[in-house]
A and B are shown apart, each in its own frame.
Chain A
Amino acid sequence: MSIGGSDLDRAITQLRACRPIPENQVRELCHKARELLIEEGNVVGVDAPVTICGDIHGQFHDLMELFRVGGDVPDTNYLFMGDFVDRGFYSLESFLLLLCLKVRYPDRITLIRGNHESRQITTVYGFYDECLRKYGSANVWRHCCEVFDYLALGALVTGAATTLEPSEGPIAENINIDNLPDSDAEIEIETLNANGEIMYRYARNSDSQSTSAASQANSNPASSSPIAPTPSRTGAAGTGATSSANGSNKNDTGAILCVHGGLSPLIDSIDKIRLLDRKQEVPHEGAMCDLLWSDPDEIEGWGLSPRGAGFLFGADIVKCFNHKNDLSLIARAHQLVMEGFKEMFDSTIVTVWSAPNYCYRCGNVAAILELGEDGSNAGFVRRSNGERGGGGGGWVLGSNVGPEGNPTAENRRLSSVLGDSMQRARDGPGRRYRVFEAAPQDSRGMPAKKPAADYFL
Chain B
Amino acid sequence: MATQEIPNLKSLLASRRGGPSRGRGRGRSGPGASHEDKEAMRDNAIRNTDQDAAGSRVSCVELGYLHDPYARLFASQPSTRRLPLLNRGTYVRTSAIDHLVDKFLTTYPDSPKQIVSLGAGTDTRFFRLQDGYPESRIVYHEVDFAVNTVAKLASIRKHPQLHTKLGAIEPPRTPNEASYYSPTYNVHALDLRSLASSSDGVPIPELPNLDPSIPTLLLSEMCLTYLQPSTVSSILHIFLTRYIAVPTPAALVLYEPVLPNDAFGRTMISNLSTRNISLPTLNAYPELSDQRARLKGYGFVDGYKVADTALIWREWVPKAEKDRVAGLEMLDELEELELLLRHYCVAWAWRDGGAEGVFSKAWADVQE
State which of A247-255, A370-378, A408-416, A446-454 sits at the interface with chain B. Answer: A446-454
Q: Are A130 and B264 in contact (CB under 8 A)?
A: no
Interface membership of A126, Cβ < 8 A: yes
Q: Which residues of A contact B90 (CB under 8 A)?
A: 456
The CA of A129 and the CA of B329, in the complex, are separated in Å by: 17
State which of B81-89, B131-139, B234-242 sits at the interface with chain A. Answer: B81-89
Q: Are A452 and B16 in contact (CB under 8 A)?
A: no
Bitwise, B253-278 to A at CB < 8 A (1) or not (0) is 00001000111111110011011010
- Greatest chain A CB density within 10 A among B82, B93, B330 is at B330
Bitwise, A85-129 to B at CB < 8 A (1) or not (0) is 001010000000000000000000000000110001100111001
Q: Which residues of B contact A124 (CB under 8 A)?
A: 83-84, 329-330
Q: Are A452 and B274 in contact (CB under 8 A)?
A: yes
Q: Are A360 and B271 in contact (CB under 8 A)?
A: yes
Q: How far is the CB of A451 from chain B (nearest CB, A)?
A: 5
Interface membership of A361, Cβ < 8 A: yes
Interface membership of B366, Cβ < 8 A: no
The chain B residue with its CB closest to the CB of A336 is: B335
Interface size of B as a range: 35 or more
Q: Which residues of B contact A115 (CB under 8 A)?
A: 332
Q: Which residues of A contact B268 (CB under 8 A)?
A: 361, 455
The CA of A450 and the CA of B326, in the complex, are separated in Å by: 30
Q: Which of B84, B265, B275 contacts A452 (CB 8 A)?
A: B275
Given contacts A357-B267, A449-B12, contact A454 B82 (CB under 8 A): yes
Q: Are B272 and A129 in contact (CB under 8 A)?
A: no
Given contacts A360-B271, A361-B271, contact A451 B5 (CB under 8 A): yes
Q: Are B86 and A454 in contact (CB under 8 A)?
A: yes
Interface membership of B34, Cβ < 8 A: no
The CA of A455 and the CA of B86, in the complex, are separated in Å by: 8
Q: Are B263 and A224 in contact (CB under 8 A)?
A: yes
Q: Are B336 and A359 in contact (CB under 8 A)?
A: yes
State which of B48-56, B101-109, B356-364 sits at the interface with chain A. Answer: B48-56
- Which residues 221-265 in A have Cβ within 8 Å of B in the complex? 221-222, 224
Q: Are B56 and A456 in contact (CB under 8 A)?
A: yes
Q: How far is the CB of A341 from chain B (nearest CB, A)?
A: 14
Interface membership of A205, Cβ < 8 A: no
Interface membership of A267, Cβ < 8 A: no
Q: Are B222 and A456 in contact (CB under 8 A)?
A: yes
The CA of A121 and the CA of B333, in the complex, are separated in Å by: 12
The CA of A32 and the CA of B227, in the complex, are separated in Å by: 57
Which DSSP category, helix, strand, loop or mixed, fits chain B's interface?
helix
Bitwise, B1-34 to A at CB < 8 A (1) or not (0) is 1110111110010001000000100100000000
Q: Are A307 and B271 in contact (CB under 8 A)?
A: no
Q: How far is the CB of A243 from chain B (nearest CB, A)?
A: 39
Interface membership of B246, Cβ < 8 A: no
The CA of A338 and the CA of B266, in the complex, are separated in Å by: 13
Given contacts A121-B330, A121-B332, A133-B8, contact A453 B1 (CB under 8 A): yes
Bitwise, A414-457 to B at CB < 8 A (1) or not (0) is 00000000000000000000000000000000100111111111
Q: Are B1 and A362 in contact (CB under 8 A)?
A: no
- Which residues 298-319 in A have Cβ within 8 Å of B in the complex? 306-309
Q: Which of A125, A307, A363 contacts B262 (CB 8 A)?
A: A363
Q: Which residues of A contact B40 (CB under 8 A)?
A: none
Q: Are A116 and B332 in contact (CB under 8 A)?
A: yes
Q: How far is the CB of B80 from chain A (nearest CB, A)?
A: 10
Q: Are A308 and B9 in contact (CB under 8 A)?
A: no
Interface membership of B339, Cβ < 8 A: yes
Q: Which residues of A contact B267 (CB under 8 A)?
A: 357, 360-363, 453
Q: Are A134 and B330 in contact (CB under 8 A)?
A: no
Q: Are B332 and A451 in contact (CB under 8 A)?
A: no
Bitwise, A65-81 to B at CB < 8 A (1) or not (0) is 00000000000000000
Q: Are B6 and A130 in contact (CB under 8 A)?
A: yes
Q: Are A449 and B7 in contact (CB under 8 A)?
A: yes
Q: How far is the CB of A338 from chain B (nearest CB, A)?
A: 6
The CA of A124 and the CA of B3, in the complex, are separated in Å by: 9
Q: Which residues of A contact B82 (CB under 8 A)?
A: 454
Interface membership of A335, Cβ < 8 A: yes
Q: Which residues of A contact B12 (CB under 8 A)?
A: 449
Interface membership of A202, Cβ < 8 A: no
Q: Are B86 and A126 in contact (CB under 8 A)?
A: no
Q: Are A451 and B7 in contact (CB under 8 A)?
A: yes
Bitwise, B63-93 to A at CB < 8 A (1) or not (0) is 0000000000000000000111010011001
The CA of A337 and the CA of B338, in the complex, are separated in Å by: 12
The chain A residue with its CB closest to the CB of B49 is: A457
Q: Are B93 and A456 in contact (CB under 8 A)?
A: yes
Q: Are A125 and B83 in contact (CB under 8 A)?
A: yes
Interface membership of B334, Cβ < 8 A: yes
Q: Are A307 and B334 in contact (CB under 8 A)?
A: yes
Interface membership of B185, Cβ < 8 A: no
Interface membership of A150, Cβ < 8 A: no
Q: Which residues of B contact A89 (CB under 8 A)?
A: 6-7
Q: Are B334 and A306 in contact (CB under 8 A)?
A: yes
Interface membership of A181, Cβ < 8 A: no
- Which residues 155-192 in B have Cβ within 8 Å of A in the complex? none
The CA of A229 and the CA of B359, in the complex, are separated in Å by: 47
Interface membership of B331, Cβ < 8 A: yes
Q: Which residues of A contact B332 (CB under 8 A)?
A: 115-116, 121, 125, 307
- Which residues 37-87 in A have Cβ within 8 Å of B in the complex? 87
- Which residues 318-370 in A have Cβ within 8 Å of B in the complex? 335-338, 357-364
The CA of A124 and the CA of B262, in the complex, are separated in Å by: 29
Interface membership of B344, Cβ < 8 A: yes
Q: Are A133 and B6 in contact (CB under 8 A)?
A: yes
Q: Which of B3, B23, B263 contacts A126 (CB 8 A)?
A: B3
Q: Are A221 and B1 in contact (CB under 8 A)?
A: no
Q: Which residues of B contact A338 (CB under 8 A)?
A: 263
Interface membership of A20, Cβ < 8 A: yes
Q: Which residues of A contact B23 (CB under 8 A)?
A: 452
Q: How far is the CB of B43 from chain A (nearest CB, A)?
A: 15
Q: Which of A20, A221, A359 contacts B9 (CB 8 A)?
A: A20
- Greatest chain B CB density within 10 A among A120, A306, A361 is at A361
- Which residues 284-312 in B have Cβ within 8 Å of A in the complex? none
Q: Are B271 and A455 in contact (CB under 8 A)?
A: yes
Q: Which of B222, B271, B327, B331 contacts A453 (CB 8 A)?
A: B271
| Known A89-B7, A309-B330; further 18 A-B contacts with Cβ < 8 A | A115-B332, A116-B332, A121-B332, A126-B1, A360-B267, A362-B263, A362-B264, A362-B336, A449-B7, A449-B12, A450-B274, A451-B1, A453-B267, A453-B271, A454-B1, A454-B5, A456-B257, A456-B344
18 residue pairs A–B, Cβ–Cβ below 8 Å: A116-B332, A121-B332, A124-B83, A307-B330, A336-B335, A357-B267, A358-B336, A361-B268, A361-B271, A363-B263, A446-B16, A449-B12, A452-B274, A454-B5, A454-B52, A456-B257, A457-B49, A457-B277
Instruction: Give me the 9 closest cross-chain CB pairs, A-B, nearest first.
Output: A363-B263, A363-B267, A457-B49, A336-B335, A457-B52, A129-B3, A363-B264, A453-B271, A454-B1
Taking beta carbons and an 8 Å cutoff, which residues of A are in contact with B? 20, 87, 89, 115-116, 120-121, 124-126, 129-130, 133-134, 221-222, 224, 306-309, 335-338, 357-364, 446, 449-457
Taking beta carbons and an 8 Å cutoff, which residues of B are in contact with A? 1-3, 5-9, 12, 16, 23, 26, 49, 52-53, 56, 82-84, 86, 89-90, 93, 222, 257, 261-268, 271-272, 274-275, 277, 326-327, 329-332, 334-336, 339, 344
